[in-house]
Amino acid sequence: MKKLLIGFVLLFSQLNLTAQTLKNYIQYVNPLIGTQKMGHTFPGATVPFGAIQLSPDTDEQPYLIGGKYNKDTYKYCAGYQYDDATIVGFSHTHFSGTGHSDLGDFLIMPTVGELQLVPGTKDNPKSGFRSAFSHANEIAEPNYYKVKLDDDNILAEMTTSERVGFHQYTFPKNDNSHIILDLMHGIYNYDDKNVWTFVRVENDHTIVGYRQTNGWARTRTVYFAMEFSKPFTSYGFKDFKPSPYKGFWRKFDQTKNFPEMAGEQIRAFFDFKTAEDEKIKVKFALSPVSTQGAMNNLKTETPDWDFEKVKNAGQNFWNKELGKIAVTADSRDDLVNFYTGMYHAFISPTIYMDAGGDYKGLDQNVHNAKNFTNYTTFSLWDTYRALHPFFNIVQPKRNREMIRSMMAHYDQSVHKMLPVWSHYANENWCMIGYHSVSVITDAVVKGNVEGIDAQKALDASVQTARTKYYDGLEFYMKLGYVPEDKNSSSVSKTLEYAYDDWCIAQMAKKLNRTDVYNEFSKRSENWKNVYDSRIGFMRPKMSDGKFGEKFDALKTEGQGFIEGNSWNYSLYVPHNPEKMIEMMGGKQKFAAHLDELFTIHLPDEFFAETEDITREGIIGNYIHGNQPSHHVAYLYNWTDAPYKTQEKVRMILKNQYHPTPDGLGGNDDCGQMSAWFLFSSLGFYPVAPGSDQYALGSPAIKTAILKLENGKTLAIEAQNQTDKNVYVQKVLVNGKPINRNYITHAEIMDGGKLTFLMSDKPKV
Amino acid sequence: MKKLLIGFVLLFSQLNLTAQTLKNYIQYVNPLIGTQKMGHTFPGATVPFGAIQLSPDTDEQPYLIGGKYNKDTYKYCAGYQYDDATIVGFSHTHFSGTGHSDLGDFLIMPTVGELQLVPGTKDNPKSGFRSAFSHANEIAEPNYYKVKLDDDNILAEMTTSERVGFHQYTFPKNDNSHIILDLMHGIYNYDDKNVWTFVRVENDHTIVGYRQTNGWARTRTVYFAMEFSKPFTSYGFKDFKPSPYKGFWRKFDQTKNFPEMAGEQIRAFFDFKTAEDEKIKVKFALSPVSTQGAMNNLKTETPDWDFEKVKNAGQNFWNKELGKIAVTADSRDDLVNFYTGMYHAFISPTIYMDAGGDYKGLDQNVHNAKNFTNYTTFSLWDTYRALHPFFNIVQPKRNREMIRSMMAHYDQSVHKMLPVWSHYANENWCMIGYHSVSVITDAVVKGNVEGIDAQKALDASVQTARTKYYDGLEFYMKLGYVPEDKNSSSVSKTLEYAYDDWCIAQMAKKLNRTDVYNEFSKRSENWKNVYDSRIGFMRPKMSDGKFGEKFDALKTEGQGFIEGNSWNYSLYVPHNPEKMIEMMGGKQKFAAHLDELFTIHLPDEFFAETEDITREGIIGNYIHGNQPSHHVAYLYNWTDAPYKTQEKVRMILKNQYHPTPDGLGGNDDCGQMSAWFLFSSLGFYPVAPGSDQYALGSPAIKTAILKLENGKTLAIEAQNQTDKNVYVQKVLVNGKPINRNYITHAEIMDGGKLTFLMSDKPKV
């Protein structure tokens, strides 16, 4: 088949390094990618790193029903599942690609006819306010989502600014039209997740309030301000869990046209008369600190009622951000994969402060971010691997601000720990390790530290790594490993701590702190303590120093690992592959071992209990759909067969990423899965963040222009690259061949040209 | 019996109007007065109008048990009942004298030996951390409370500054001493009153956190910061209602030495080793806005650990405030009654802002009080009658600031209403009317308005009085009365609205707003619409204009009144007694009617359902123990028998106020019952606040010196006054006899001398 060279008209001038603006990258973004099966992305509207993710929710699955875990909940981490036939409504906050969830704040739903204040069920959608819809009537673009709600023949459109969701509903003629504001709705919305909600109807078109929840974030409050473009004629509330004590509020009928309501489980409705095709618009602003803050955000960001203006501003913003890498590729599909990857990489972390800089800290006090943007949604166990390194290249300023946000988290933490998973003024402690130190080290080692107090960041890293009561650390520090009889998933923890400790040592080295360097260099070797040379796998050790007896290297649960089996996790020594390979029997044996990983069959029963690993994300026994193996395909570079890295990377790119709703092999995990795609497509990957080296792989694009914030431009060209020509014969930096398997950060940031000469034959 | 003239050594120089400072007024204050039976005062420590009321709670009675109202709860409005034999602990917030309740935040209890984390029961106190105590080992003074906790032989002492409770516990020698911090405890603590609590252990001696409740105040949060004088050796938490979802917090043992806890029902403990007689001190600061604010309050007000210094500062503060009226009287008991009355009058409203002026508004946003002190705890249905008029004389600056606080409430109210019952950034809507307008009018008419925007205050009053959905106002405005078939307690509401409307008219007159004057003058006559001339009583009318059929003028419940029967409430036309008396058959008939009120027997069954009326508060059928009749004894002044006012007032003073724990005949109601005592003891009373006149009664003191804020001094002398000489023969203002039954506000505020010539014979 003859391949079309699809790209941009300015291709040649790009290659000549002229930095011209390209107009329409958003045409290659399909927000529906990953919304089917386990991608856990959302299709709705957001701006880059925006605080609002305004998106349809197709169902609401409680996390617990009567104390029992509900398996179906997992599908709804982002609120939307492509296979569903009904939409419950449109809520304002969504995680992108997570494997556990929360949010779904403030669901809005337009309806006509008899008022329904329950969502109804999937099986019987007419029993509630939810509506049927079809993908034929659905458009998802960056910062724009449109769908026809079939039940009531209402066209729903939405766009956003950083802190405001902007809805536009086109109604049929009806004297009995409604817009529902559901404060009960939520994602992972188990029994009593709402702690409290509070609503005030300030006038005939303005509502403010808040929602406080106890979920993945234990103590979380989101404030809102809402404006309608047209006054409502009447309104009301239903309290679905009235307090046993009602006090003197009993003197009012609070259900109808009474401007104040508070309680655990409330839905509100606003009534309108609508003409045929009449548009009612809703601006919905959020704030981390107050309704006052939300109202100010609303007025600052969306002073008027021009939907198109807000949509265009957000789409231009996306074009600007996506345009930081201009690629050409063989097919439109490749471009869609690439720019949708960029899109998903630029959704999280999310802005977490008012337009004026106020944000809520981990101490639940209000702080002001002086001279930086405060971010939340740090899914660090995922994103330290490739997303933050990617930001160090294409979003260095934002990455610095993210580190300042992490330092603010540290300052406000009663544990004096850097974030594990920073979640709306909460630490949700999800997953393991203290990978903030990797993100910080990567920036420090790469010199991206302007505005960061690096010495203080090192102190914070050290203090975090010495928190005895954190997840087996006391034993780790005493014994050199986490003993499985004291703390589960002990091998995963030991391996990740050892890598994190290596990061701290690298930062200390850069900052001339010899004592810290020595302490943590020593700790970084602790991975050796859980390697069982008799079987060639990492393996749980007990506090008496002996390895546990029962052990299955293929099995995922109960073997001393978390979200991975020993086959995959045993390869987790990113900071010292040489030594690991030596201990595993040398280069040749190790390469064969890796081959086996990619080819042996992993039976369903060995991972079925683990929701983050699904058949789609597995190649042989290599689990790409979850993070611990993301560096593994690059490990052939440390053997005599780096060409196998090249073929495996290209195989994974093809196998795990598709331009379709079911196109992601696993959770996108706040952009980590996409960042793997982006790096790998460009031909290199940060195996050990905290090092200034990127392992070379096999570029899948034709050309790429990276427009760097330092004003320089890096052009990447993959000469003769095709689906078959996956092998790299030669790599040139600014025209000079290099004789190594890696490039350095400086080589990227200095700009110039990186050329890969491709072939269908391995270089041996 | 020969009476001793007890008073102050400086009596004669006082009468010569030299303003000398008197040293020890607090010796005449007994905070235990009102703690037995239904006074509902608390015995603990507070400074004048302080934000902290640190006081022992002797039991915790849930308001609802399984949805059913618990009758015993009512006794515990202030947390303490004198007859109880055990103390549960010491909490930081208490209402003084209310007839409904809330608060009791943050109970502290010291114990030794085996840790107990439940309070235990009255019957079996050893089953929990509560302790037996005896009044023999109890001392209650203004700003100082001391008690020996018998169970563990711990001496508890406490004092306060405005925003900090200061505890001092003297322990026995024990290796296993504890201080418990109970966040579950509360007053009127029905099922699930706690919405959320949050605690952080910042270091080995500092704790911060908050408690959020849904009670009488629907959405209320109080923040704290706590410091120990000595580091604890260990600490822990127990969560008595764990959330069904625990998330990744499961990785920690949060019960022991883990510095962060959040949930609905939490108790914390802190462990110490104590030497014999070792004192452990605790500073406990509150804030309406944040833990940061609480910590700042703590550091600002109590920078060191000197218990005596804080105690002395608060007691000096009390002496200064109590010294604003220097009285002499026949007996120490009279002085104790008078100064304990002053003490109770100066507890509420309470300061509601941080040292830096930040407070939470009704809109739940944080505001800053610019150039005024923000107050809460406005029990206005009670306190508009005599307490705020009393403030206009002896606390005019504070009264202006209270009005500014009420205006802030109005500004932040979504209803755009002035407060009904302002309660920690909440409106609890308790009782009826819109008596803020009385408080404001009284200040405006009396010229105490510096810093108040009077025109805006009038607008706020008008808007409040036109709020259709408020408690029958729509009907009242349409029909001229509240119809009983549309809204219960309709007669009480009609009568009180009419008085409030008269207030608005008076304010409008003073401010030259003729339109408002006309509208509300007309409304002020609405009381006539519920007077049934056939029976001579006020009586519920239906929306068809007919009086209801079943009616009993003695009965309290279900007759169209609230907390009063028609006999008492029918006399509620304070703004137009002349017309009322005329309609009721003229002066002679009316005086006989009043005589009957004071003498006929009110059977128990006719008020037993009403918790605010008890036998102790009743004289004949006159109910002094609750507010609606507080002006009634003065109504004889409008007949030909004002001497009966004099004898009745003296009789009530003797009958209803005693210097003993059971000394109050009803709830002190945030100082209203005490303000009646204070005015009446001085010889005059504000029958219609909003008028500048005070009805003359019969002074019960010998002499009084009022040291006014304007620098002037009013001396009051009751010549020849004894328990028998209750009749006023002559009244002199600055030596000139006056020929009327009232004095004016100007006559008081201009200073000088008010002389009563007393006799044992009525002047006829």
Close Cβ partners of A393 (under 8 Å, ≥ 6 residues apart): A706, A708, A745, A748, A749
The SS3 call for residue A451 is: coil
The C-alpha atoms of residue B354 and residue A430 are separated, in whole angstroms, by 36
The C-alpha atoms of residue B250 and residue A100 are separated, in whole angstroms, by 15
All structural domains of chain B: 1-30+325-352+585-764 (3.30.2080.10), 52-319 (2.70.98.10)
Confidence of residue A23 (pLDDT cuts 50, 70, 90): low
Close Cβ partners of B643 (under 8 Å, ≥ 6 residues apart): B636, B727, B728, B762, B763, B764
Arithmetic mean of pLDDT, A422-441: 98
The SS3 call for residue B210 is: strand
Given this model, what pLDDT does residue B203 score? 98
Pick from B208, B260, B363: CB nearest A291: B363
The C-alpha atoms of residue A602 and residue A553 are separated, in whole angstroms, by 11
> Does the pLDDT value for residue A21 go beyond 60?
no
Given this model, what pLDDT does residue B191 score? 60
Confidence of residue A17 (pLDDT cuts 50, 70, 90): very low
Percent of chain A with pLDDT over 90: 89
Chain A residues within an 8 Å CB radius of B425: none
Least confident among A364-378, A408-422, A598-612:
A598-612
Q: Kindly state the tokens that stand for A288.
A: 């981390």
For the segment A137-146, what is each residue's pLDDT rounded down to a tens digit? 999 999 999 9
Arithmetic mean of pLDDT, A126-145: 97
Exposure class string for A13-50: b at 16+ Cβ within 10 A, else e: ebeeeeeeebeebbebbbbbbbbbbbbbbbbbbbbbbb
**Is the peptide bond preceding residue A349 cis, with omega within 30 degrees of 0?**
yes
pTM value?
0.96
Arithmetic mean of pLDDT, A700-728: 98
For the segment B72-122, what is each residue's pLDDT rounded down to a tens digit? 899 999 999 999 999 999 999 999 999 999 999 999 999 999 999 999 998
The amino acid at residue A364 is Q
Torsional sign, CA A638, A640, A643, A648: negative
Arithmetic mean of pLDDT, A199-228: 97
Spans of chain B, pLDDT less than 50: 1-22
Given this model, what pLDDT does residue A191 score? 60
Q: Kindly state the tokens that stand for A550.
A: 């029962």
DSSP A3: P
Q: Kindly state the tokens that stand for B409.
A: 């409430």
Residue B741 sits at the vertex; the CA angle it makes with B738 and B742, to the nearest 5 degrees, is: 85
Three-state secondary structure readout of B435-485: CHHHHHHHHHHCCCCCCCCHHHHHHHHHHHHCCCCCCCHHHHHHHCCCCCC
Contact state of B219 with A198 under an 8 Å Cβ cutoff: yes
Instruction: Judge whether B719 is closer than 8 Å to chain A, CB to CB.
Output: no
Pick from A67, A414, A430: CB nearest B248: A430
Given this model, what pLDDT does residue A614 score? 84
Close Cβ partners of A253 (under 8 Å, ≥ 6 residues apart): B469
* Closest CA relative to residue A665, chosen from A33, A199, A149, A135: A33
The amino acid at residue B564 is G
Q: Kindly state the tokens that stand for B453.
A: 């925007």
Arithmetic mean of pLDDT, A548-568: 93
Confidence of residue A60 (pLDDT cuts 50, 70, 90): confident
Arithmetic mean of pLDDT, A134-157: 98
Please give, rounded to a whole number of angstroms, the shortest distance from the CA of B575 to a CA of chain A. 27
CA distances from A33 to A38, A39, A44, A595, A653 (A): 11, 8, 12, 30, 15
B386 in Cβ contact with B671 (< 8 Å)? no
The C-alpha atoms of residue B627 and residue B99 are separated, in whole angstroms, by 11
Confidence of residue A471 (pLDDT cuts 50, 70, 90): very high
How many Cβ atoms are within 10 Å of B616's Cβ, its own excluded? 17
The complex's ipTM? 0.95
Confidence of residue A603 (pLDDT cuts 50, 70, 90): confident
> Does the pLDDT value for residue A16 go beyond 50?
no
The amino acid at residue B84 is D
Close Cβ partners of B293 (under 8 Å, ≥ 6 residues apart): B223, B287, B354, B356, B358
CA distances from B701 to B653, B681, B722 (A): 11, 6, 9
Close Cβ partners of A364 (under 8 Å, ≥ 6 residues apart): A219, A425, B198, B210, B290, B291
Given this model, what pLDDT does residue B542 score? 98
Given this model, what pLDDT does residue A27 score? 97
The amino acid at residue A178 is H
A355 in Cβ contact with A163 (< 8 Å)? yes
**Is the peptide bond preceding residue B349 cis, with omega within 30 degrees of 0?**
yes
Chain A residues within an 8 Å CB radius of B219: 196, 198, 262
Close Cβ partners of B13 (under 8 Å, ≥ 6 residues apart): B20
Helix (H) or strand (E) holding A231: none
> Does the pLDDT value for residue A68 go beyond 70?
yes
Arithmetic mean of pLDDT, A54-58: 98
The C-alpha atoms of residue A329 and residue A702 are separated, in whole angstroms, by 5
The C-alpha atoms of residue B97 and residue B346 are separated, in whole angstroms, by 12
Contact state of A260 with B212 under an 8 Å Cβ cutoff: no
A2 in Cβ contact with A61 (< 8 Å)? no
> Does the pLDDT value for residue A81 go beyond 90?
yes
Total residues found in chain A within this entry: 764
Strand partners, A695: A685, A742
Torsional sign, CA A544, A550, A553, A559: negative
The SS3 call for residue A82 is: coil
Please state the separation of Cα A650 from the chain's center in Å.
23
Which of A190, A204, A364 is most worth mutating to test chain B (most B CB atoms within 10 A of its CB)?
A364
* Closest CA relative to residue B404, chosen from B475, B454, B469: B454
For the segment A645-660, what is each residue's pLDDT rounded down to a tens digit? 999 999 999 999 999 9
Strand B752-759 vs strand B727-733: parallel, antiparallel, or unpaired?
A: antiparallel
B159 in Cβ contact with B46 (< 8 Å)? no
Close Cβ partners of B440 (under 8 Å, ≥ 6 residues apart): B403, B406, B418, B452, B457, B460, B461, B503, B507
Instruction: Judge whether A366 is closer than 8 Å to chain B, CB to CB.
Output: yes
The amino acid at residue A430 is C
Confidence of residue A616 (pLDDT cuts 50, 70, 90): confident
The C-alpha atoms of residue B203 and residue B225 are separated, in whole angstroms, by 12
Given this model, what pLDDT does residue A18 score? 36
Helix (H) or strand (E) holding B380: helix B380-383
Instruction: Judge whether B260 is closer than 8 Å to chain A, CB to CB.
Output: yes
Backbone angle region of A595, left / alpha / beta, with phi > 0 → left and psi within -120 to 50 → alpha: alpha
Given this model, what pLDDT does residue A702 score? 97
Contact state of B247 with A219 under an 8 Å Cβ cutoff: no
Given this model, what pLDDT does residue B168 score? 98
Instruction: Judge whether A277 is closer than 8 Å to chain B, CB to CB.
Output: no
The C-alpha atoms of residue A456 and residue B329 are separated, in whole angstroms, by 69
Pick from A67, A192, A469: CB nearest B252: A469
> Does the pLDDT value for residue A715 go beyond 90?
yes
**Chain B neighbours among A 423-462 (CB < 8 Å)?**
428-431
DSSP for B73-130, written as a single string: GGGGTTS--TT-SEE-EEES---SS-SS-----SEEEEEESS---S---SS-GGGSS-
For the segment A156-204, what is each residue's pLDDT rounded down to a tens digit? 999 999 999 999 999 999 999 999 999 999 999 866 799 999 999 999 9
Exposure class string for A194-215: b at 16+ Cβ within 10 A, else e: bbbbbbbbbeeebbbbbbbbbb
Chain B residues within an 8 Å CB radius of A366: 290, 366
Given this model, what pLDDT does residue B10 score? 39
Three-state secondary structure readout of B498-562: HHHHHHHHHHHHHCCCHHHHHHHHHHCCHHHHHEECCCCEECCECCCCCECCCCCCCCCCCCCCC
Please give, rounded to a whole number of angstroms, the shortest distance from the CA of B98 to a CA of chain A. 15
